[in-house]
Amino acid sequence: MNKKYIIIACYLTFNVLIAYSQTKPETKGVKKWWNSLVHGNIDRTFEKKIDMSYIVAPCYTYEGSFGIGGAATGLYRLDRTDSIMQPSDISLSGSAQVKGFYGITVKGNNNFKGNKSRLSYILQFQNKNLDFWGVSYDACNQNPISSYKRQMIKWQSDYIYKLTPNIHLGAALNLNYTKASDIVNPIYLEGQKASYFFTGIGLSVSYDTRDFILNPKQGIYFMLKETYYPRFMSTYDKDIFGTTVVFDAYQKAWKGSVFAFDLYGQFNGKNIPWTLREEVGSGTSRMRGYYEGRYMDSNQIFAQMELRQHIYSRIGCVAWVGGGTVFPSFDKLWMQNILPNYGLGLRVEFKHNVNIRIDYGFGKETAGFVFQFAEAF
* Alpha-helical runs (H) found in 22-136: 30-39
SS3 of residue 134 by DSSP? coil
Four-CA torsion 283, 284, 288, 289, nearest 10 degrees: 80
- What band does 102 get if pLDDT is binned at 50, 70 and 90? confident
Contact present, 24 and 39 (Cβ < 8 Å)? no
Better pLDDT: 24 or 202? 202
pLDDT of 13 > 60? The answer is no
Q: Is 254 exposed, middle or buried (0-12, 13-18, 19+ CB in 10 A)?
A: exposed
Range among 85-89, 168-172, 350-354 rated most confident: 168-172
Distance CA 76, CA 351 (A): 12
Encode burial over 283-299: b for 16+ CB neighbours within 10 A, e otherwise: ebbbbbbbbbbbbbbbb
Distance CA 143, CA 359 (A): 29
Q: Mean per-residue pLDDT for 134-149?
A: 94
Q: Residue 304: which of 264, 336, 356 has the closest Cα?
A: 264
Contact present, 344 and 306 (Cβ < 8 Å)? no
Distance CA 163, CA 339 (A): 38
pLDDT by residue (tens digit) across 282-321? Answer: 667 899 999 888 999 999 999 999 999 999 888 999 999 9
Which residue type does 347 have?
A: R
Which residues are CB-contacts of 354 (< 8 A; sequence separation ≥ 6)?
73, 75, 89, 214, 215, 373, 374
Backbone conformation region of residue 373, classed left if phi is above 0, alpha if psi is from -120 to 50, else beta: beta
Distance CA 155, CA 174 (A): 6
- What band does 43 get if pLDDT is binned at 50, 70 and 90? confident
pTM higher than 0.85: no
Four-CA torsion 272, 277, 278, 283, nearest 10 degrees: -160
Backbone conformation region of residue 190, classed left if phi is above 0, alpha if psi is from -120 to 50, else beta: left
- Beta-ladder partners of 35: none
pLDDT by residue (tens digit) across 305-363? Answer: 999 999 988 899 999 999 999 999 999 999 999 999 999 999 988 877 888 888 999 99
pLDDT of 81 > 70? The answer is yes
Architecture label for domain 3-373: Beta Barrel (2.40)
* pLDDT above 90 as % of the chain: 59
H or E element that contains 120: strand 117-132
Per residue, the 3-state secondary structure of 30-45, as one string, reads: HHHHHHHHHHCCCCCC
Backbone angles phi, psi at 291, to 5 degrees: -70, 135
Mean of per-residue pLDDT scores for the chain: 86
| pLDDT at residue 2 in the model | 45
Domain map (residue ranges) of the chain: 3-373
Which residue type does 367 have?
A: A
DSSP codes joined into one string, 230-246: -GGGSSSSS-EEEEEEE
Handedness of CA 23, 27, 30, 34 (dihedral sign): negative
Distance CA 58, CA 13 (A): 8
